[in-house]
Amino acid sequence: MNRVIKLTAVFSAFCLLAGIATAGFEPGREDAKQVAPGPEPTCDFSWTGFYIGARLGGGFGNTELGANGEPVGRFTIRPDNQDLDPGGFIGGGQLGFNWQFARFFVLGAETDFLGSTVSGNTTDAHSVPQLFPFVSDVPLHARQDINWFGTVRGRVGFAPWCKWLVYGTGGFAFADVDDSVEFDLRPSGGNSTYPASHSGTQTGWTAGGGIEFAISQHWTIKAEYLYIDVGDRTAVGNPIPANPPFQVRYNWDAQFHTFTAGVNFKF
């Protein structure tokens, strides 16, 4: 009996000590307190809204001029093309609207208008085998000036991080283009020159893309590339003095690239 009482006392003491040792202990709880995770970060900026802005940059083209003598077979120009490679500065403004949805996606529309000093001129040596079989340096003077241009475009963007927007864009383009050319046979022993020109607004298409960053709730900065194609034009050069039936038919294309940096104010 005494043995049972002693065992009971020892067991009771053990349970008491275990209870004191484990007081306040919870399974899975570490001695150091863990900091509760905070709420997920949220973006305090939205791309939705109207904006207006300005931008500056440069442009360069890959304009090609084609020249073909007429009547065909009696008056052939070789080579029958030459590159003008215009380049220069551009600057102007833009107006647009964005709509941000599903957190990461942005749809928008933008129109812009820019002045331009993009121009190119060249003088290349050609030959006219039927008229001057031993002459290969008949000069052809050509020039192209892009005075201004504008676009009306849609934009599709993705906002991978708060205040950053990456977008593609494309739509309608128009430009005021001056072209002039003169094929001069006089230095080679001929008596005629074949000038031609045309000026006016040409229309076409544009496509490109850019990246934009919001530096505050109302101000953003951007960098953008556009390829612009406003088609081609044809003009006929009649000889001076008159020398029928000979003519030269010219064809200019007008495509150019633009790189700009700009700033927008978002309402």
User: How is 70-126 classified by DSSP, letter by letter?
Assistant: ESTTTS--BS-EEE---EEEEEEEEEEEEEEETTTEEEEEEEEEEEEEEEEEEEEEE
Say if residues 165 and 159 touch (Cβ distance below 8 Å). yes
**Rg of the Cα trace of the chain?**
37
90 exposed, middle or buried (CB, 10 Å; 0-12, 13-18, 19+)? Answer: buried
Strand 49-61 relative to strand 64-70, pairing: unpaired
Q: What is the pLDDT of residue 189?
A: 80
pLDDT of residue 35: 53
Binning the chain into helix, strand and coil, the percentages to the nearest 5 are 10, 60, 30
Output the pLDDT for position 74.
82
Cβ atoms within 10 Å, residue 11: 10
Is the CB of residue 76 less than 8 Å from the CB of residue 130? yes
What pLDDT does 27 receive? 44
pLDDT of residue 24: 44
Report the pLDDT value the prediction gives residue 85, as an integer from 0 to 100.
87
Q: Which segments of the chain have a pLDDT < 50?
A: 1-32, 38
Predicted local confidence at residue 230, as pLDDT = 96
Largest CA distance in the chain: 145
- List domains and CATH numbers for the chain: 46-266 (2.40.160)
Element (H, E) at 249: strand 247-266
pLDDT of 19 = 44
Amino acid at 253: D
> What pLDDT is attached to residue 177?
96
Q: Phi and psi of 198, rounded to 5°?
A: -155, 150
Which tens digits make up the pLDDT trace of 109-137? Answer: 999 999 999 999 999 999 988 888 888 88
User: 185: which residues sit within 8 A by CB, 6+ positions away?
Assistant: 128, 131, 132, 138, 191, 192, 193, 194
Per-residue pLDDT, 241: 93
- How would you label 16-38 residue by residue, b for 16+ Cβ within 10 Å and e otherwise? eeeeeeeeeeeeeeeeeeeeeee
For 15, the 3-state DSSP assignment is helix
Rounded to an integer, what distance in angstroms lies between the CA atom of residue 264 and that of residue 241? Answer: 55
Q: Which two tokens stand for residue 42?
A: 């949220």
> What per-residue confidence (pLDDT) applies to 34?
55
Please report the pLDDT score of residue 191 as a whole number.
85
pLDDT of residue 187: 85
